[in-house]
């Protein structure tokens, strides 16, 4: 299976940034990696380029058209809220089965990144979360976290939640936060004392490429 779920410890941590960097790094290596963002809230059809979906399309070199948007982001909601809340405001419900089916349609020999929405356990509907989505997919996982104050607890809590559903990330990616109390390496070293079985990578702010070994984990 060539599906990898891009999860995060919270909202605005950098899932889209990392997803796009993986796609671009793969291209520089002569490899093709696709990306989809099945569920997106806070979407404005008049500002596709400012959206997560638009950024992913741009990384893949695809035009920012609504046809292409629909191809990778069929569940779109205008309110910048958790998916369940945003859907309710439009009289909709995100059902897990069609969401899983949509993701499975992208299984092929070409690695595909599935960017999640929000953090590890953001509600999708009244009873299910993004963690249920991940577990049902049975895909690989990359966990994106930050270097902000509090990230250590958030990261280890996210890892515990994932482990309870038998999900072990291929890697933890520390995406440098705008405000960090200590150097990113110190955060990585501290996290590494507690997490000894998962590789930890640091991505500096405004990085234009990722380590090649991260891309190779997707195949």
Indicate which residues carry an active-site annotation.
Answer: 37
The distance in angstroms from the start CA to the end CA of the chain is 9
What distance in Å separates the CA atoms of residue 34 and residue 59, rounded to the nearest whole number? Answer: 9
Q: Residues annotated in the binding site for substrate, as ranges?
A: 41
What distance in Å separates the CA atoms of residue 22 and residue 112, rounded to the nearest whole number? Answer: 10
What is the three-class DSSP state of 118?
A: coil
- The answer to whether 79 and 86 have CB atoms below 8 angstroms apart is yes
Q: Residues annotated in the binding site, as ranges?
A: 12-17, 41, 52, 115-118, 175-176
- Nearest in space to 101 (alpha carbons), one of 136, 52, 66, 126: 136
Q: Residues annotated in the binding site for ATP, as ranges?
A: 12-17, 52, 115-118, 175-176
What is the three-class DSSP state of 195?
A: coil
Tokens of 114: 């599935």
Q: Residues annotated in the binding site for Mg(2+), as ranges?
A: 16, 52, 115
- Nearest in space to 102 (alpha carbons), one of 137, 58, 127, 144: 137
Q: Which helix (H) or strand (E) holds 160?
A: helix 151-163
**Residues forming a β-bridge with 76:** 40
């Amino acid at each position: 299976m060539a599906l990898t779920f891009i999860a995060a410890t919270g909202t605005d941590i950098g899932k889209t940034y990392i997803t796009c960097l993986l796609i671009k790094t793969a291209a520089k290596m002569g490899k093709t990696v696709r990306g989809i963002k099945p569920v997106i809230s806070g979407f404005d059809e008049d500002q596709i380029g400012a959206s997560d979906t638009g950024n992913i399309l741009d990384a893949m070199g695809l035009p920012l058209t609504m046809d292409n948007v629909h191809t990778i982001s069929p569940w779109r909601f205008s309110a910048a809220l958790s998916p369940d809340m945003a859907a309710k405001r439009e009289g909709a419900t995100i059902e897990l089965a069609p969401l899983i089916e949509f993701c499975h349609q992208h299984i092929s020999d070409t690695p595909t990144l599935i960017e999640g929405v929000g953090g590890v356990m953001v509600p999708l509907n009244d009873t299910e979360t993004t963690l249920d989505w991940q577990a049902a997919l049975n895909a690989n996982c990359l966990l994106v976290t930050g270097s902000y104050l509090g990230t250590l607890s958030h990261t280890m809590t996210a890892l515990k939640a994932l482990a309870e559903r038998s999900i072990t990330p291929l890697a933890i990616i520390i995406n440098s936060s705008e405000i960090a109390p200590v150097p990113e390496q110190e955060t990585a070293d501290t996290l590494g004392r507690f997490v000894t079985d998962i590789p930890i990578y640091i991505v500096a702010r405004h990085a234009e490429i990722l380590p090649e070994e991260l891309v190779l984990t997707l195949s």
